Amino acid sequence: MLPKPAGEADAALAELSGAWFDPAADVVLVVTDQRERPSLLTMRVRAEPDVHLELVSTVGVARAAPVQSLDLEGIAPDPAGDLFLASEGEALSAERASPGIFRYSRDGRFTGRVELPPAYAGLRPNQGFEGLTTSPDGRRLFAATESSLVQDGPTADVQRGALTRVLMYETERLTSPREYAYRTQPVPPLPGAASPLGDNGVSEVLALGGDDLLILERAFVRDEDNEELGRNVVRLFRVRVDPAADVTGRWSLMDEPPPVVLEKRLVFDLDSVVDRLPQALRHLDNFEALSFGPRLADGRRTLLMISDDNRGDRQVSALVVLAIAAGDPLAAITGP
């Protein structure tokens, strides 16, 4: 786990919400969703013999005119040399944290924005763009909404998941993206709860190839009658982009339902290794960042999962490193 922020010097280690490992520089670039001072952090990660994340530098991210603030949740490399940053936001308004996908230089300068289809005027407050990734060849940019657009249907509940959208841009033009329907899992059960409440949504997406994705779903469920009873559920699903789930240009997925949604396959549930985590993580946490990491000495590639503590007393900033088994990249994933 990372140290709990105690003052100005450690404040950057709070609210970590998106990450990208730059293998050329051997560093992890991390964004924070601190709206009062959105930042880009450069960190070094060590995966063995123990797990360690060290802050190297912090750069403030200038607001994307004309919006007043940003709610950064995702980061991905731009093949032109800049960075793509995703802001979850509250509303399409200049007075509030704005949702969108923006381009920034590595020193935090705003260089442009990515065009969104008209339907994204229906982004829900605090449930907009959480996932952002670039394909390994740099030709495609993928973005995912945490939950459904207002006109697409309700958010997830214990009965069924939310119908969300995944966008796919060609990076050489960054206009007219394809859109694909994706359904999250329902809010997971909570043993012993008389009145379970909660949410589940997409908190990150990682491209394994040009049409092959890893989607991180993060859920929290609690008992309405007992605040002490609650748990997090953090799962990784492998998804292949399927033209049959194309919903490009549709204003409402309720008015014009997709014939199918993207097929998904569970490849990892963090609960399966919970007994190997520190005591403070035994109920897991708000994991929002997902990135490849450095290779281990035996040649295996790693996945990095980072949690956002929301500056809450009961939450932590934590890094979990997973080692990918040899062979099929995500056929099996084990703990470090």
Residue type, 120: Y
Q: What pLDDT shows up at residue 282? A: 76
Residues in the chain: 336
Minimal CA–CA distance to 67: which of 29, 32, 107, 38? 38
Tens of pLDDT, residue by residue over 125-174, are: 889 999 999 999 999 999 999 999 999 999 999 999 999 999 999 999 99
| Within-domain flag for 3 | no
**Of 12-21, 80-89, 94-103, 252-261, where does the model show the most confidence?**
252-261
Whether pTM > 0.85 for this model: the answer is: yes
Residues in Cβ contact with 8 at an 8 Å cutoff, skipping those fewer than 6 apart: none
Average pLDDT value over all residues in the chain: 88
Question: Tokens 């997902």 correspond to what residue?
Answer: 290
Q: Return the exposure string of 102-117: e unless at least 16 CB atoms fall within 10 Å of the residue's CB, then b.
A: bbbebebebeebbebb
Check whether the bond before 49 is cis (ω within 30° of 0).
yes
Neighbour tally for 64: CB within 10 Å? 22
Contacts 24+ apart (CB under 8 A), 153-159: 153/253, 153/254, 155/124, 155/127, 155/199, 155/201, 156/184, 156/185, 156/186, 156/187, 156/199, 156/200, 156/201, 156/219, 157/186, 157/187, 158/186, 158/187, 158/189, 158/196, 158/198, 158/221, 159/186
| Within-domain flag for 160 | yes
Quick one: pLDDT band at residue 82, thresholds 50, 70, 90?
Answer: very high
Of 78-87, 238-247, 308-317, which range is least confident? 308-317
Tens of pLDDT, residue by residue over 285-323, are: 889 999 999 999 988 889 999 988 877 667 778 899 998
Quick one: pLDDT band at residue 13, thresholds 50, 70, 90?
Answer: confident
**Distance separating alpha carbons of residues 69 and 94, to the nearest angstrom:** 8
Q: What pLDDT shows up at residue 279? A: 81
Q: Reply yes or no on whether the pLDDT at 253 is more than 80.
A: yes
| Within-domain flag for 112 | yes
Looking at the structure of the chain, the number of domains it has is: 1
**Distance separating alpha carbons of residues 94 and 92, to the nearest angstrom:** 7
Q: Which domain holds residue 115?
A: 8-334
Quick one: pLDDT band at residue 79, thresholds 50, 70, 90?
Answer: very high
| Within-domain flag for 262 | yes
Quick one: pLDDT band at residue 235, thresholds 50, 70, 90?
Answer: very high
| Within-domain flag for 1 | no
Check whether the bond before 66 is cis (ω within 30° of 0).
yes
| Within-domain flag for 2 | no
Q: What pLDDT shows up at residue 57? A: 95
| Within-domain flag for 247 | yes
Neighbour tally for 87: CB within 10 Å? 29
| Within-domain flag for 157 | yes
**47, 64, 77, 134, 198 from 83: Cα distances, Å:** 25, 13, 5, 10, 33
Q: Reply yes or no on whether the pLDDT at 96 is more than 60.
A: no
**Distance separating alpha carbons of residues 221 and 196, to the nearest angstrom:** 7
Q: Reply yes or no on whether the pLDDT at 123 is more than 90.
A: yes
Q: Reply yes or no on whether the pLDDT at 218 is more than 90.
A: yes
319 phi/psi in degrees, rounded to 5: -115, 125
Report how far apart the first and last C-alpha atoms of the chain are (Å, whole number).
15
Q: Supply the Cα-derived Rg of the chain in whole angstroms.
A: 19
Question: Tokens 């601190």 correspond to what residue?
Answer: 34
Mean pLDDT of 28-50: 90
Q: What CATH number does the domain containing 325 carry?
A: 2.115.10
